[in-house]
Amino acid sequence: MRKKEKQKSGKVLGKTALFRKGRIFQMKKKVISTLICASMVASMLAGCGGNNAANTSASDSTTTDAGTTAEADTTAAEASTEAAGDTASADAVANLIAATDGTVNIDLWCSELESYQTVMKELTDKFQNEYSDVDFNITIGAVSEADAKDKVLEDIDAAADVFVFADDQVNDLINAGALQEVAATYTYDPKATNSEATVAAASKDGKLYAYPLTASNGYFLYYDSSIFSEEDVASWESLVAKAEEAGTNVGMNIADGWYLYGFFSGAGCELSMNEDNTNNCDWNSATGLAVAESVENIASSKAFVNVADQDAITMLNDGTLSAYVSGTWNASSFEEKYGDGYAATKLPTFDVNGTATQMKSYAGYKFVGVNSHAENVGWSMLLAEYLTNEESQLAIGNATQEGPANTAAAEQISSPALAALAAQSAYADQQIVGQNYWDPAKALGQNLVDGASDLQKILDDAVTGITQPIAE
């Protein structure tokens, strides 16, 4: 394992890191100064044009000429400003190259899925080709974005320099000092090119700490349209009834707080996080009891299976699973297996005290983060930028069927899975929960699957666990 030189504060002391804190920020000042100067020039030119037009108002042609001149001057000023910005960016990269001595080592972690590994290898190869005068040693490790935080926090020094992670990990990574703030950029502004929701989810206290990558880490319903009609998949009650009739299985992972949330939230129950990372939860209310009864009824169907993703894919390949709640990361598996019947839709409704209630969900995003202890912070940030620019997000989206965070790239990708995700987005919430939520929610979900008799007790126990104080 390589050693990383640190200051007493835990920050990187290397040449590249110092360059980033010095020259890159100087570059930003240069750009601002250039913009101000260009703006002043444009104002002066526009003012001259206005005076000229006033002095020659007797001549329509002269007025037109003056207006044309002012417009041309303004256009020229804008072009000059843009060119100045491009030049400054190019200078920043050139300075980074000049400040580089020896081999640039960068460890990258991303999903273990073959599609992710393949496209990331292609993109890192292109990155190295673009900066071919630098000697790179980029290694790609397989760490699920769901596990990234835990792996990073095991040993920040030994963790990857650049890593993909899910949005629910942002606060913990920031609080641990594991993420390098995106205070300066080289090639594009992530705040300007990505959706507002993804930028907000990657930020804290007005500061951006990661580069948005995808806006599709949510869930919806895949189904085989050769078995189920649109009416069949509109509600859980009709879905399981049709599955029983057809002799097939449908399901989701109820014993997982990420999915279970959709039932209680859909009925209007509260789950929120306090500033001290504790939770507020009222799932043991009368409404929560009605939700629990509904979930238990759904799970009691002989056609319903409570399975996690890995087991679901096994059942899918065996031909025994015809509808399942999952996300875009499994799109290719469902498309391949269902063939012409491949379809997806928003989550079904479920019955709460005789009322059809729309199931909600968590909206989810994926980010690329830079380790604050990275050996080569500057190059790691430039690589993170490269992996999350419009072209790269489009390539990743096409390879994985996940929806890009980049708004321009998102407009270029369409699929049944992304259409279903878009339909569900109207009923999706950003995942903001305290750390004591997950285990009690999992236990609650499993109790509902098992058909617990005393629902009020298991709800009371779950809420007690979810809202308990944070251990010192």
Each residue of 358-368: pLDDT tens digit? Answer: 999 998 899 99
Q: What is the pLDDT of residue 329?
A: 87
**Torsional class of 93: left (φ above 0), alpha (ψ -120 to 50), beta (otherwise):** alpha
pLDDT at position 86:
57
Taking the C-alpha atoms of 161, 163, 168 and 172 in order, what is their torsion angle to the nearest 10 degrees? Answer: -10
Q: What is the CA radius of gyration of the chain?
A: 27
Q: E-assigned strands of 274-346?
A: 279-281, 304-306, 321-326, 342-345
Q: Is the Cα dihedral 39, 44, 50, 56 positive or negative?
A: negative
Integer Cα distance of 440 and 256 in angstroms: 10
The pLDDT score that the predictor gives to residue 83 is: 43
Q: Using CA atoms, how far apart are residues 207 and 196, in angstroms rounded to an integer?
A: 14
**83-131 pLDDT tens trace:** 444 555 678 899 999 999 999 999 999 999 899 999 999 999 999 999 9
Q: Which of 9, 15, 172, 5 is nearest to 99 (CA)?
A: 15
DSSP single-letter state for residue 253: -
Q: pLDDT truncated to tens, each residue of the chain (472 aa)?
A: 333 333 323 333 333 333 333 333 333 333 333 333 333 333 333 333 333 333 333 334 433 344 444 444 444 434 443 444 455 567 889 999 999 999 999 999 999 989 999 999 999 999 999 999 999 999 999 999 989 999 999 999 999 999 999 998 998 999 999 999 999 999 999 999 999 999 999 999 999 999 999 998 899 999 999 999 999 999 999 999 999 999 999 999 999 999 999 999 999 999 999 988 899 999 999 999 999 999 999 999 999 999 999 999 999 999 999 999 999 989 999 999 999 999 999 999 999 999 999 999 998 899 999 999 999 999 999 999 999 999 999 999 999 889 999 999 999 998 999 999 989 999 999 888 988 999 999 999 999 999 999 999 999 999 999 999 987 6
**pLDDT of amino acid 38:** 36
What Cα–Cα distance (Å) separates residue 9 from each residue in 21, 66, 157, 264, 373? 15, 60, 13, 44, 11
> Is pTM beyond 0.85 here?
no
What span, in angstroms and rounded, lies between the C-alpha atoms of 402 and 294?
32
Rounded distance between C-alpha atoms, residue 305 and residue 254, angstroms: 9
The H-assigned helical ranges of 319-428 are 331-338, 377-387, 390-400, 407-410, 416-424
| Residue 440: predicted pLDDT | 98
pLDDT for the residue numbered 67: 44
